[in-house]
Amino acid sequence: RVDGARLMNDIHSTSEWGKGERWGDADTEIGMSRLSLSDTDKQARDWFHKTTTALGCKVHVDAMGNQFAVRPGLDNEAPPTYAGSHLDTQPTGGRYDGILGVTAAVEMLRVLNDNWVETAYPVGVVNWTNEEGARFPMSMTASGVWSGDIPLEKAHNLKSVIPANDTATMRSELERIGYLGDVPCSWEATRMAAHFELHIEQGPILEAENRRIGVVQGVQSYKWFTVTVRGRDAHTGATSFQHRADALLTASKMILASHKLATQHGALASTGILNLKPGSTNTVPGFVQFSLDIRAPDNETVGKTEAACKSAFSALAAGQDVVDIQTGCAPSSRQCTVDWRTDFVSPATHFHDDCISCVQAAAQDLCGSSGDEADAEVKGRDIGRWGKLMTSGAGHDTVYANKRCPASMIFVPCRDGVSHNPSEYSSPEQCVDGANVLLGAVVRYDRL
Amino acid sequence: RVDGARLMNDIHSTSEWGKGERWGDADTEIGMSRLSLSDTDKQARDWFHKTTTALGCKVHVDAMGNQFAVRPGLDNEAPPTYAGSHLDTQPTGGRYDGILGVTAAVEMLRVLNDNWVETAYPVGVVNWTNEEGARFPMSMTASGVWSGDIPLEKAHNLKSVIPANDTATMRSELERIGYLGDVPCSWEATRMAAHFELHIEQGPILEAENRRIGVVQGVQSYKWFTVTVRGRDAHTGATSFQHRADALLTASKMILASHKLATQHGALASTGILNLKPGSTNTVPGFVQFSLDIRAPDNETVGKTEAACKSAFSALAAGQDVVDIQTGCAPSSRQCTVDWRTDFVSPATHFHDDCISCVQAAAQDLCGSSGDEADAEVKGRDIGRWGKLMTSGAGHDTVYANKRCPASMIFVPCRDGVSHNPSEYSSPEQCVDGANVLLGAVVRYDRL
Ligand SMILES: NC(=O)NCCC(=O)O
Ligand SMILES: NC(=O)NCCC(=O)O
């Protein structure tokens, strides 16, 4: 069993690097703003290196800055069983998303050491680079390079999405903070027997159903796009609606249309970034660029929603009233143009049965020993009232890991399903539950 | 008559300071980006000072950086008759808006000097600070301080609207570029007998009707607001539409609603600036702030449109489907909040009859002497097929000047009505027409 105080101390002490917005009065009621490859990300990485080295691991860094710490087993010819996640956060994120997964994996190393556990094979802990995709606009970038799905050069050349002065690329930032490692970033250079990841659910289901553990079977499909709308800069006071090609009005209609169409298709559509030019109160914007994130349980639904948005956006740019979006203004004699760029594709993922079984068994172990539900019906994939088999709405590095080795994940509830928000919160008990299941799953897989 | 080559040379040579986007192949087919109180604005100001001083003027600068150049007359106890405009531009503006008015006024000084004209009273040229309101979000700021409508301190403390690194205020920038003058900014400290301003129309009417000169009788009413929408940052993949308080989706509905409501009221509504937080592809934005510019011929219509937008925005923030804007999504269980801040109010303006008459007479003079229309019917306010009595859609410094002295304006056509755009264009002939009418109007007023 993990040491809860030690785990929580790791979470909160490392969260000093990259503190974000305060949301409550307590010492730890402060969110995180630790963008990938920033100065504070470097501090968190240095901690990871120092701590895992001190725990007896051999640590290496690859060409994407991924950090791998390996604790030897009895047979060190075979690849390690890994636990891990990421230490980067959203610009206004919380202290659990990613951080819980890495600190729980480090805590796992401590428990193994304290108890003089000799695993059959090595056990590893990994900190993946730029999982969030918040600064460099591909999520799970560096696990994607590791799995061979994202070309190294493409990832290295990714530019920061933050407008104005951040002209950095992933490669320039890896160099700047000293984390451009010399090991190739690939599943062949850094082999894994399996990959387990503990994460907060980031959704409301476990909490609503009062479940302690989510046994994650897979991740929904998603795609990211950058949509560019071009119109014509014009004077707001001297240009009639009819003479305008208003890129922002058109983008507003597109955002509304994407929500309508996603709802119709049973998908999600979201815009998190929007930049415009020139940005003056009395100039109709001639240029707008926005992100579009489309998600659904299966690839087909994402594809259909994408196609529906593409055709609606073209019609809206041409000034037509589609999907019931009416301006009520005199139709403009001028049109906008619209361009799409696909930034990122993450197909629906199904995790590996062996790993799901290990998580399930570890969850049964935890929940079975937790009192009045000890007699919960345990048959097949039913893990009783304390656990739930589920699919993740968010992407995770385990999606890419799963392409090259057996993998799966563990979810713990988070308050009100809130994530990517400073006030994201899981209680110490919930964090400890998850860490115990992670430990149990890794040890089980090692035996397997 | 003005010297066209000299005038065009002033326009294009001073446009070297603050060059913007190229839109055509010719040397001068480049727009302007000379934000108020920037380094390039300082260069244009230095040119103004040097040139008018060399032409024999006494130049002074007031506490808002307004530059006043005065050419003595026979009686120097009485205040000067001024011609002027502004040398600042939009971030993606053209080389005529404001610039034509100042350079034509400087050309007027040259014509008076070349012809040894002694005016009855002094004649002045003024370059007003931050007319555009593009960097500091009040248009005609410094003429508004001069007229006593805007408190000096409020203007000095205006912050740049450009996000990220521009933390400047008007006062800090005036100091930095050396244009915080020691004369108080007021109509009592710098007296004016009258104020004339030549400007490009910035709309399509003169061109469409094939008129050479607009005799401007007044300016429509307008108001600027900053609208702030607050929702909740949330994960785009793990948060159902129902669990969201999406500030950007809500702002998109508001922008659409403002267009619908403005159309219903016979007004204009425009959003030129929109900023959001946190700005990450996979985070639903919890914060959006946007500008709203409402205009109409009369104050009442602006007020009604404002009231209609206020009530619609509140309803939209509360998740209601109003003015036929339906998301089609399951109604969200979470609401956004909306706040309004009024940034700027410019009521409808009617210029002074004496000044309108001087412009009209000068226009008749020009148009009457221009060939086949020499016999154009000239009666009452009808100035023949070459001219047009009109109202300005855009605000101008003359609005504030008109509060403290007789004032009016002269418009010349601009291609396709395009303004606040790099490709804004008036032909040399059009510029020269306007400069001749400006000269004629000022001389006529001096005699009056
Ligand atoms: N878990 C998480 O927030 N990952 C970021 C990738 C995504 O957008 O789903
Ligand atoms: N003429 C001009 O563009 N003035 C700026 C003030 C306005 O927005 O109307």
The answer to whether B126 and B84 have CB atoms below 8 angstroms apart is: yes
Residue B322 has pLDDT above 90, yes or no: no
- Please answer yes or no on whether A91 and B249 come within 8 Å at the CB atom: no
Going by C-alpha positions, the residue among B199, B202, B197 that lies closest to residue B84 is: B197
User: Looking at residues A9-27, what average pLDDT do you find?
Assistant: 95
Least confident residue range of A163-172, A330-339, B367-376: B367-376
Query: How far apart are alpha carbons A396 and A401 in whole angstroms?
Result: 9
Specify the pLDDT at position B192. Answer: 98
Contact B277, A92 (CB under 8 A): yes
Give B207→chain A minimum CA distance, Å.
Answer: 14
pLDDT in tens, A153-201: 999 999 998 766 678 999 999 999 999 999 999 999 999 999 999 999 9
Interior angle at CA A18, CA A87 and CA A179, nearest 5: 50
pLDDT digits (tens, 9 = 90+) for B56-92: 999 999 999 999 999 999 999 999 999 999 999 999 9
Chain A's closest residue to B221, CA to CA, is A237
Comparing CB atoms, the residue among B204, B279, B295 nearest residue A273 is B279
Among A157, A184, A161, smallest CA distance to A173 is for A157
Cβ(A380) – ligand 2 distance below 6 Å: no
Can you tell me the distance from the alpha carbon of B105 to that of B68, in angstroms, rounded to the nearest whole number? 12
Quick one: which atom of ligand 1 is closest to the CA of B237? 9
The pLDDT of A29-53, averaged and rounded, is 97
Q: Is the dihedral of CA B241, B243, B244, B245 positive or negative?
A: positive
How far apart CA A7 and CA A38 sit, in angstroms, is 24
CA distances (Å), origin A86, targets A104, A133, A141, A398? 11, 11, 11, 11
As a whole number, mean pLDDT of residues B243-260 equals 96
Q: Determine, for residues B281 and A264 on separate chains, whether the beta-carbon distance falls below 8 Å.
A: no
User: What pairing do the DSSP bridges indicate for beta strands B387-392 and B123-128?
Assistant: unpaired
The model's pLDDT over A421-442, given as tens digits with 9 standing for 90+, comes to: 999 999 999 999 999 999 999 9
- Of A34, A35, A33, A31, nearest to A22 (Cα)? A31
How distant is the Cα of A374 from the closest Cα of chain B, in angstroms?
A: 31
Which two three-digit tokens encode residue B171?
């006062």
Asked if A65 and A59 count as a contact pair (C-beta separation under 8 A), the reply is no
Helix or strand run (H / E) with residue B274:
strand B274-277
Tell me the pLDDT tens digit for each residue of B163-176. Answer: 666 789 999 999 99
Which stretch of A230-244, A381-395, B426-440 has the lowest confidence by average pLDDT?
A: A381-395
Shortest distance, CA A310 to any CA of chain B (angstroms): 18
**Mutate-to-test residue for ligand 2 from B36, B293, B396, highest number of ligand atoms within 8 A of CB:** B396
Which pLDDT tens digit goes with each residue over B271-289? 999 999 999 999 999 999 9
Residue B97 has pLDDT above 90, yes or no: yes
**Residue B235 pLDDT:** 94
| pLDDT, position A379 | 39
* A255/B252 CB distance under 8 A: yes
Q: Buried b vs exposed e over B356-392: b needs ≥16 C-beta within 10 Å?
A: bbbbbbbbbebbbeeeeeeebeeeeeebbebbbbbbb
Residues of B whose CB is below 8 A from A395: 237
- With CB atoms and an 8 Å threshold, state whether A248 touches B255: yes
pLDDT at residue B325 tops 90: no
Residues of A in contact with B276 (CB under 8 A): 273-274
Q: Residue A442 is encoded by which pair of tokens?
A: 């890794």
SS3 state at B432: helix
Verify cis geometry, omega within 30 degrees of 0, for the bond prior to A278.
Answer: yes
> Ligand 2 within 6 A of A281 CB?
no
pLDDT digits 0-9 by tens, A213-264: 999 999 999 999 999 999 999 999 999 999 999 999 999 999 999 999 999 9
Question: Rounded CA gap, B75 and B119, in Å?
Answer: 9
Cα–Cα distance, B135 to B37 (Å, whole number): 9
Could you tell me which residues come within 8 angstroms of residue A208 by beta carbon, excluding any fewer than 6 positions away?
Answer: A417
| CA–CA gap between residue B84 and residue B28 (Å, rounded) | 23
> Nearest to residue A197, comparing CAs of A126, A131, A138?
A126
Distances (CA, A) of B72 to A115, B128, B355: 97, 20, 21
Cα distances from A60 to residues A332, B147, B443, in angstroms, run 59, 69, 82
Q: Which ligand is nearest to the CA of B86?
A: 2
Output DSSP code: residue B366.
H
Residue A249 belongs to what H/E stretch? Answer: helix A247-265
User: Quick one: closest CA in B to A262, which residue?
Assistant: B329
What's this model's pTM, rounded to 2 decimal places?
Answer: 0.91
**How high does pLDDT run on average in chain B?**
93
Q: Would you call B224 and A291 a contact, using CB atoms and an 8 Å cutoff?
A: no
Burial (CB < 10 A; 0-12, 13-18, 19+), residue A27, is: exposed
Q: Looking at the predicted structure, is the pLDDT value of residue B375 above 50?
A: no
Q: Which residue out of B88, B89, B99, B132 has the highest number of ligand 2 atoms within 8 Å of its CB and is therefore the one to mutate?
A: B132
- Check pLDDT > 60 for residue A346: yes
**CB–CB of A236 and B270 under 8 A?**
yes
Question: Residue B334 — very low, low, confident or very high, per pLDDT cuts 50/70/90?
Answer: confident
- CB–CB of B283/B233 below 8 Å? yes
Give the pLDDT band of residue A324 (cuts 50, 70, 90). Answer: confident
Q: Residue B349 CA: which ligand is closest?
A: 2
**CB neighbours (10 Å) of residue B263?**
17
Nearest Cα of chain A lies from the Cα of B208 at a distance, in angstroms, of 13
Check residue B77 and give its pLDDT: 95
Token couple for A292 = 């579009």
- Report the amino acid identity of residue A61: V
CA within 13 Å, CB half, A217: 9
Provide the residue type at B20 as one letter: G
Lining residues, ligand 1, CB within 6 Å:
A 97, 131-133, 139, 202, 394-396; B 235, 237, 282
Task: Tell whether the model's pLDDT for residue B376 goes beyond 70.
Answer: no
A95 falls in which pLDDT band (50, 70, 90)?
very high
Q: What angle do CA A247, A337, B294 make, to 5 degrees?
A: 20
Question: Ligand 1 center to residue A140 CA distance, Å?
Answer: 8
| Secondary structure (3-state) at B232 | strand
Predicted confidence band of residue A77 (pLDDT cuts 50, 70, 90): very high
For residues A57 and A97, the answer to whether their CB atoms sit within 8 Å is: no
Predicted confidence band at B385 (pLDDT cuts at 50, 70, 90)? low
Q: Do B394 and A235 lie within an 8 Å CB cutoff?
A: yes
Bridge partner residues of B411 (DSSP): B199, B214
Look at A235 and B392 and tell me if their CB atoms are within 8 Å.
no
Judged against a pLDDT cut of 50, whether residue B99 lies above it is answered with: yes
Q: How far apart are CA A335 and CA A238, in angstroms?
A: 18
pLDDT > 70 fraction of chain B, expressed in percent and rounded = 94
* Cα separation, A260 vs B239, whole angstroms: 16
Write the residue in A137, A203, A260 that is nearest to B238 by C-beta.
A203
Closest CA to B359 of B73, B7, B81, B121: B81
Angle made by CA atoms A106, A112, A116, in degrees to the nearest 5? 145
